[in-house]
Structures are given as structure tokens and as C-alpha cells.
Amino acid sequence: MKTGKVFLIGAGPGDVKLITLKGLECIKKADVIVYDRLANPRLLAHKMPKAQLIYVGKSPDRHTLTQDEINKVIVKEALEGKIVARLKGGDPFVFGRGGEEAEVLLESGIPFEIIPGITSAISVPAYAGIPVTHRDFTSTLTIITGNEDPTKEDTNINWDKLGQDPGTLIFLMGVGNLPKIVEQLVKNGKTKNTPVALIRWGTRPEQQVVTGTLNNIVEEVTRAGLESPAIIIVGDVVKLRNKLKWFENKPFFGKRILVTRSREQASDLSEKIEDLGGEAWEYPTIVIEEPLDFAPLDRAISNATEYDWIIFTSVNGVKAFFNRMAKLKIDIRKLGNVRFCAIGPKTKEAIEEKGLLVEYVPEVFRAEAIVDGLKNTLQSGQKILLPRADLARPVLLDSLQELNLQVDEAIAYRTVNNTEDSKELLEKIINKEINVITFTSSSTVKNFIELLEGNNAEELLKGITVACIGPITAETAQEMGLKVNITAEKYTIDGLISALLNYFKN
């Protein structure tokens, strides 16, 4: 059997975008992903559908697997001919025991590559506004393990040198040993007024920073209830935090926001959330799929020259319509005499990307407004085509038919329930790790409620903000027992973001 290969990948400090491009490429092609608790689980969304996940997370008080057991898992999977992504928080060679794993792989004759990661030693302070070096304060940086007991006799740490070191000292994984670390530094020459900062879960929404001096930092950390994982920074550069902190000043800092729209559309909303300092947790409650029967859509496309108007009520409808047109090898120029209406600016943009002009977009982006705006333009007997979703509301079709128009409705796509494992999402909701849930359509609401698996939605979502893109979606949410906190006045993604900003500002 052909031997596989192992990639020892640094996953970075926590912010999912702080992984390297090469690291992400390796995750995407791995047959097996072996990951620990410091690697952001959102990275696992990039895996191949059939990739196996093996959790080997360790914490100071609990080991899922020992290091020897982890080594055996990696070797076993690789010897079975699999590509293994060993995903480790930070950098694999900075207190990540990557060197030990590489040695074991070498002894077993297994090819491997090291994919460096951004270590928490420099990135976490950066997110807290603390530069680890600064020409006005220090030009040196020392990274020390915080796991070693500072009082043991056979220590590998030169405390006498650290006590005299004028540079920045960074201790990784040392919260439990903080009192002893402080004691050793003061004992060996550090002044008690030396600035200190501890940063927990740096670069994530849970980021927590406690500052003080060697004289009071133990009491400050106890008062704040700060626990591991956290890093300790000792040195004058800590004084710059109040001036340079930027991450915590973003309007969505500390907010983990659930994005429930389909994966094809989620990125726009997610990017805007993360630009504003939040963490977008994508769990599409709906999946966009092809119609079960293409015949009505194919017939409509083939007879496109017969229509006076084509009305699109979603970007998905536009994409599905023109993808099918290309599949049927029908020239887009057949639509030359057709007039187009779009329900909103994004839908208009998708149509005009095809080189077609949109003649009407309602000021209010809902089906009723389309009829109100066009009723004086449409003429009795004209033919209208509605390419749209299988679960679209009937109000537009009914209203157009009341105007004595010939209306053909063609299912361009279906919205179906997402069947992905929702266990992790439910745990986050139960543990109140989700701060906001966004809904961008009635179908996202309905499928989300089904996802709750019989739990009391009102009780489960208590304390979680519910935001809807418009009144129709909000009405559906309320009918299904949800308390809606935010309804966007402008029924677009930008409108939803604006509503969230106003809500948190006030």
C-alpha cells in the first residue's frame, strides 16, 4: 500500500483568516484532519465532504489523547495511504510539539511537510494593541513556555537572565503558573512596577485583556476571572495598549453572528460582519438545488421571445435562469425585446452583469411593491415570466393575474433543508456562544426552527439577538415563536448591517 503524507499545519491564533494560504490548501485536500482545541473549528468547513475528523484536543486539566497517542494516530492514518492534515493552534514549532511529531514521522518513513503558522506570541498582542517590539521601548523579544513550574530545581529557564532582560517577555500557556512567574521575575531583578498584560482567546470574539504590573497582576487576573488559554506579556510595550488597541474598538467586537443564508450567498454578509469586528459563523439552513423537473423552465426559456416582461425576485433566480439558458445553448440575444424587472439592487446587478438593462426596481424590495410600481406600465394581455423558487409566496403571481396578464411561473431553483450535522451549532446556541442570529428569508427561519429538533425555541434563544432582513421574514419568525429584535428598514444585506449597527450603538 502506498504511504500517505502528513502536513503539520499551524492554524494561527484563532481568527479563522489568520491561517496561511498553503495551510488552507492542505486542509482542502486532506483525507484526515487531526486537530486540537486551539485550532478554530471553522477551518474544518473547508474540508472535503468525505474527510475524516479526529479531535485530539488538550487542555491544562484534561487530555483527550496523550502526545504518544496522537503520534500513533497520525502514523496509522498515513500508513494507510491517507493525506493527513495535523492542524495545530499557532505555529507547530513554537511550543506546539511539532518537532516531536516530525521526528516520529521520519522514523516511520512517512513523508511530511511543515506549514508554519502565525504564532500567538506576536499576533495576540497585536490584536490587543501591543507591539512586541518598538524602537522607543525595546528591540528584543523572548518567548518562554509558561507551563514549566518556575520553582523546580532542574529548570531550563534562566530566570536570572530574564529578570535582567530589558526586552519584552512573552509566556505562552502560563496562567496557572502566573503567581510563580511573577515571583521569579521580581526575585531576579524585575521591578514591581513593570507593566504586564494577559490576553485570553486573543483574535476571537471572546478576547479578554487584563493589564497591571508585576505588583498587582495576580490580583487583577483573579478579580477578572481570567482563565487559560491566555498569554502573558511583560514589558514596557504594554503601556501602548490604551493608545493602539483597535480590535476591541470595532462596532461588532465580541459578537459571534450566525449567518443562516445559503452558502452561495453567505460570503457577502459574512465579510461585512467580519470587517466590522464580528465573527460570522456560517451555518446555511437552506441549500440551493436544481428543480426536480426542468420542463417548465426549459419551455419558458425556449419561448423567451414571446414574453413582454421577465420579473426576477432573487439573485438565485437570475443565476439559475441564465445558467440553464447556457446549458440549452440558447443565445442571450433572444431576450433583446424583453423588459426586465428586479426586486432589489443586488438582483438588478446580477441581471445587468449579463449586459441586459433593468427597467424597474421598486423602492420597497418586496413582491407587493413590484405590482404597485408596474400596474400603470403593464398592459392587459401582456405575457409575464416569473422564474423563481419553488417556495416563493403566491402574492406576486396572484396580483399580476388580477391585472388580466398572462403569467407563466417557472421553478428555476429549489430551497431545501440543509442536512449537515448541526450538533456543534446547537451546542454553541445552548452555551450562548452565538450572540446574534440573522435571517434573510422566510425559508431560513423555517429551516432553522426545524434544526432545533423539538427544543423550545423561545427558551433556547433567550438572550440571543434575532435580526431579520425585512418585515416578511420578521413576520415568519414571529409566527414561529421567535422574538425579533431587529428588522431592517431597507431589505438588503447593507440594510441588515446598518440595522445591526444601530441596534448595538443604542
Q: pLDDT digit string (tens) for 66-92?
A: 889 999 999 999 999 999 999 999 999
What is the per-residue pLDDT for 186? 96
Q: Are 406 and 439 in a shared domain?
A: no
> Which range of residues forms the domain containing residue 449?
256-285+419-505
Domain boundary among 64, 89, 118: 118
Average pLDDT (145-163) is 84
Q: Of the residues 58, 239, 334, 428, which is catalytic?
A: 58
Q: Identity (one letter) of the amino acid at 303?
A: N
The conformation of residue 181, written as its DSSP 8-state character, comes to H
Could you confirm whether 173 is annotated as catalytic? yes
Domain boundary among 62, 93, 118: 118
What is the per-residue pLDDT for 415? 83
Q: Identity (one letter) of the amino acid at 475?
A: E
Q: Are 294 and 412 in a shared domain?
A: yes
Q: Identity (one letter) of the amino acid at 6?
A: V
Average pLDDT (105-116) is 96
Q: Are 221 and 76 in a shared domain?
A: no
Could you confirm whether 236 is annotated as catalytic? no
Burial of 479 (0-12, 13-18, 19+ CB in 10 A): exposed
Q: What is the CATH number of the domain that holds 186?
A: 3.30.950.10
Q: Which helix (H) or strand (E) holds 32?
A: strand 32-35
Pairing of strands 406-417, 383-389: parallel
Q: Determine the Cα–Cα distance for residues 431 and 227; give it in Å rounded to an integer.
A: 17
Residue 39: pLDDT band with limits 50, 70, 90: confident
Angle, alpha carbons 349-491-338 (nearest 5°): 35
Residue 454 has pLDDT above 70, yes or no: no
Q: Which helix (H) or strand (E) holds 408?
A: strand 406-417
Could you confirm whether 36 is annotated as catalytic? yes
Q: Are 130 and 237 in a shared domain?
A: yes
Q: Are 324 and 412 in a shared domain?
A: yes
What is the per-residue pLDDT for 404? 85
Torsion of CA 84, 89, 92, 93, to 10 degrees: -170
Pairing of strands 383-389, 339-342: unpaired
Residue 20: pLDDT band with limits 50, 70, 90: very high
Q: Are 312 and 396 in a shared domain?
A: yes
What is the per-residue pLDDT for 403? 84
Q: Are 91 and 234 in a shared domain?
A: no
Burial of 471 (0-12, 13-18, 19+ CB in 10 A): middle
Q: Are 441 and 411 in a shared domain?
A: no
b/e map 75-105, b = 16+ CB within 10 Å: bebbeeebbbbbbbbbbbbbbbbbeebbebb
Least confident piece of the model among 160-164, 370-374, 409-413? 370-374
Q: Of the residues 15, 31, 36, 165, which is catalytic?
A: 36
Q: Are 431 and 496 in a shared domain?
A: yes
b/e map 302-331, b = 16+ CB within 10 Å: eebeebbbbbbbbbbbbbbbbebbeeeebe
Q: Of the residues 173, 190, 255, 408, which is catalytic?
A: 173
Closest by CA to 403, choosing from 439, 422, 377, is: 377
What total of structural domains would you count in the chain?
A: 4
Closest by CA to 121, choosing from 242, 220, 10, is: 10
Q: Are 106 and 183 in a shared domain?
A: no
What is the per-residue pLDDT for 101? 95
Q: What is the CATH number of the domain that holds 340?
A: 3.40.50.10090
Q: Determine the Cα–Cα distance for residues 144 and 363; give it in Å rounded to an integer.
A: 60
Q: Are 413 and 424 in a shared domain?
A: no
What is the per-residue pLDDT for 266? 67
User: What rounded mean pLDDT belongs to the chain?
Assistant: 90
Domain boundary among 249, 264, 299: 249
Q: Are 399 and 485 in a shared domain?
A: no
Residue 487 has pLDDT above 80, yes or no: yes
Q: Determine the Cα–Cα distance for residues 217 and 213; give it in Å rounded to an integer.
A: 5
- Give per-residue pLDDT as tens, 220-272: 999 999 999 999 999 999 999 999 999 999 999 999 999 988 766 668 899 99
